[in-house]
Structure 1
Amino acid sequence: MRFPFSHFPLALCALLTGTGCTTTGPSRAQEVLLKRPPAVFVKERTASLSPRPAGCAVEFVKQDLTGARHTRRVARLELSGSGLDRQQAEKLLSENACRVGAERVFIESEEYGRQGERDEVEAIAFAFDTPVQISHSGILANLASKPPDCRLAILRTKQPEARYQELAGLHLKLESHFQTGGSNHQVRAMQELRAAACHLGADAVLITQESYDMPTLGSVVSGTAIVFDENLRREAPKNPDAHTL
Structure 2
Amino acid sequence: MEEKLLSHSFRKQIIKEIKSDENIQRKIVSYKKMRMQQDDFWHYVKEELERKLQAKTVDEMHIFANVNLQKRISRSEAAIYKKNPERIFYVGDTEIPEFKELYKDIGVNTILKKANIAYKYLGQCALQIFPQMGCLHVRLLLPHHYDVIPYPDNPEKAMAYVISNFDNAIRDRVRKDGKYTGHSQGEQYRDLTNQNIGDADDQILAKEKYYVWSESFNYVMNGKGEILSKEDESLVFKDDFLNEQGAPVLDDNILSPLFEYNCLPFIDIADD
**Shared topology, TM-score over 0.5?**
no
Which structure shows the bigger proportion of residues in helix conformation?
A: 2
| TM-score between the two structures when normalised by the length of structure 2 | 0.24
**Which structure has the larger Rg over C-alpha atoms?**
1
Query: TM-score normalised to the size of structure 1?
Result: 0.26
